[in-house]
Amino acid sequence: MSREEEAGKLIEEDESTPTLDSDEASRALARVEQILEEDEDKAKALLKARGGEHEEARPITPEAAQELRDILEPLHPADIAWVLEALPLDDRLAVWNQVQSESDGDILLEVNEGVRETLIDAMDRDELVDAVETLDTDQIADLVDDLPPDVMAEVQEGLSHEERAQLRAAMSYPEESVGARMDFEMVSIREEVTVDMVLRYLRRFKTLPDHMDQIFVVDRLGRLKGTLSLVEMLTNDPAKQVKRIMQTEAFTLNPLDSASDAAQAFERYDLVSAAVVDEAGRLVGRLTVNEVVDVIREESEEDAFGAVGLDDEQDIYGSVWSSAKSRWLWLGVNLCTAFFASRVISAFDGTIERVVALAALMPIVAGMAGNSGNQTLTLLVRSLAMGQVTMANTIDIWKKEIGVAFINGILWGCIAGACAWALYWDSPQGMLLGCVMALAMFFNIIQGAVVGMAVPLILKRLGRDPAMGGSVLLTFTTDSGGFLIFLGLATIFFAH
């Protein structure tokens, strides 16, 4: 048997080799819910035996606790976080108490902010310190805003001088910048050394940094000179010097660069990691693909929730009162816009009384324009997020979207007008009704495109999230404006 075949057999026989099972977390959640449900009556009896005293987490029997630990132990921290997010508060805290303490820090990083608050509130000071101390400095920086000051003070006391400097650096950068996302764990070498020396240097590490696809080459002052990919290092003569095979034109980022822009660069160039250098060219960290994936996911969630005025970091099982308050702003805006639309309709009571069919046709005009406008809005928000909309091409995008709306307005206006005429063909007003429907549909679809373009561009200019409340504002315009156009045209056409 050849060496390659022997190696392949060893890999196949290695039971510790991880396998991808996308349903593992779902099965774990279902089993956890089943255990908690079956244990509920026993838990109530246990609570009664304890005198009915209030506890932060509901009590569970030792048998159920052991079952939960057996389920949670093999799971990845991200899967445990997903399970915790899916559980009501009491069940969540009961399960949280069964999690192995060495995983606490990683799980706190994975859950959203709303759930993180409930977990941190359930932990005492020593538990929090122990959990945070297992994390790297860049990970600790992600939790700073959620941790009590005394906990952070004790954690910083346990850090080395270099780690404290790294933590201060990570905390000093804006939240959405590359600096706030970069990893301080990296391997750097000098260009004078040989490949063999690099290999011997790497063997001294107990573990290598995650997602390490390249080694950074620096000078005596720490300035980046180039990069050495692992592929080049492993396929070249060990006696060669690094400077002969390193890549000198390396892609780099600045700590103050936007994390969103960096994510687009990672996608465009298929990067796994990238060097982060300061203004003086010194290597200060690296950005890795796992952080980039988080950036893309967070932005996607922000856009989806922001479009309807929701906070993407809410806990689905959070306080009813706080959840209700967080939705008041856009519900209030929506109520005002609805009343405005009703006043538009009431201004044409006389016209509606003369032509009752108008009341049945109004929602069609508003709905079609709203859908068309949402298509424009979604396309533009995505293009803004990708950085594809600039001052130079904005006019061209306006022309294109208005042109699309013009064609769709004519096409669907004619179809809607014909349908209205067909529905009321036996009425002497049927043909006029069809003409009103066609014109109203045409003008309202164009209006929807204009608003779908204008809202995100204005929000972007004001420094706000282009997706924030866009759907609410668009619906208001296509409803109120559509009713005004439709009933206004009807008033003109049916004046005599």
Q: What is the pLDDT of residues 85-118, one digit of tens each?
A: 899 888 899 899 999 878 899 999 999 888 898 8
Which 3 state secondary structure label does DSSP give 227? Answer: strand
* Tens-place pLDDT, residues 23-44: 788 899 999 999 988 887 776 6
- Weakest-pLDDT range from 163-172, 184-193, 306-315: 306-315
pLDDT at residue number 373: 87
- Weakest-pLDDT range from 53-57, 261-265, 421-425, 439-443: 53-57
pLDDT at residue number 106: 92
Reported as type and span, the H/E element at residue 39 is none
**Interval 196-208 mean pLDDT:** 93
Q: Which residues of 188-213 are buried (b: 16+ CB within 10 A; e: fewer)?
A: ebebeebbebbeeeeeeeeeeeebbe
Pairing of strands 273-277, 214-218: unpaired
- 108/183 Cα distance (integer angstroms): 18
Q: Which residues lie below 8 Å from residue 311, measured CB to CB, with a gap of 6+? A: 305, 326
pLDDT at residue number 22: 53
pLDDT of residue 4 exceeding 70, the answer is no
pLDDT at residue number 306: 66
Residue type, 372: S
With CA atoms as reference, report the closest residue to 134 among 161, 97, 108: 108
Which 3 state secondary structure label does DSSP give 290? Answer: helix
- 489/201 Cα distance (integer angstroms): 80
- 10/5 Cα distance (integer angstroms): 9
Report the chain's mean pLDDT, rounded to a whole number: 85
Q: Which residues lie below 8 Å from residue 78, measured CB to CB, with a gap of 6+? A: 110
Distance of CA 399 to the CA centre of its chain: 31
Which 3 state secondary structure label does DSSP give 252? Answer: strand
β-strand partners of 275 = 252, 286
Given pLDDT bands bounded at 50, 70 and 90, which one contains residue 211? very high
Inter-residue contact 115 to 85 (CB < 8 Å): yes
pLDDT of residue 465 exceeding 80, the answer is no
Percent of the chain topping pLDDT 90: 37
Inter-residue contact 165 to 138 (CB < 8 Å): no
Q: What pTM, to 2 d.p., does this model score?
A: 0.68
